[in-house]
Amino acid sequence: MSVKNRKKPNIVVSETDYERLMGLAGNVSEKLEEIAEELMLELDRAKVVPARKLPENVVHMGSIVEFRSNDGQERRVTLVYPGEADIAQGKVSILTPIGTALIGLMPGQSISWTARDGKLHELNVLSVSKADTVAQEAEAGNVVAFAAKRPSADDDKDNDPGPSAA
């Protein structure tokens, strides 16, 4: 079976990720129509479970994921909200084609995805582990604010208020 015609695997997401990501997709749908639509389609086909029942080896927000792409390269990335994305540090935004493809997968599952340049790719998840949940929860609280914000030259600056904000 070709990559293009392969059936998408079953995926699982937590209620928390489902609600936050649907809200995020809705908020960015005018600016990022294609990726927002793809994210909503992925979430709509997912089995949604309470966060406490989400298996530890399922890709969720903040997960560290190791995968092999169809070109044979292995990569290790952390799935993050847009404000945390930094490809140099291996932090991939959920609002990218590969980020949307990863959500809800488990080791051993494969999925095809289309890059922004129109090329079709496939990846196979090798392992999933948890990242720092404190940073993940802090960023999750800022999802709506990020989605409503228009991109500007200031977006690249460090907006972290530091420990004094706590």
d(CA 62, CA 78): 6
Task: Return the structure tokens found at 117.
Answer: 């340049």
- Rounded to an integer, the average pLDDT of 25-41 is 95
Q: CB of 122 within 8 A of CB of 110?
A: yes
pTM: 0.76
Q: pLDDT tens for residues 76-128? A: 999 999 999 999 999 999 999 999 999 999 999 999 998 888 899 999 999 99
Q: pLDDT tens for residues 39-68? A: 999 999 999 999 999 999 999 999 999 999
d(CA 103, CA 108): 14
Domains annotated on the chain, with CATH = 12-150 (3.10.50.30)
The larger pLDDT score, comparing residue 98 to residue 142, is at 98
Residue 9 scores a pLDDT above 60: yes
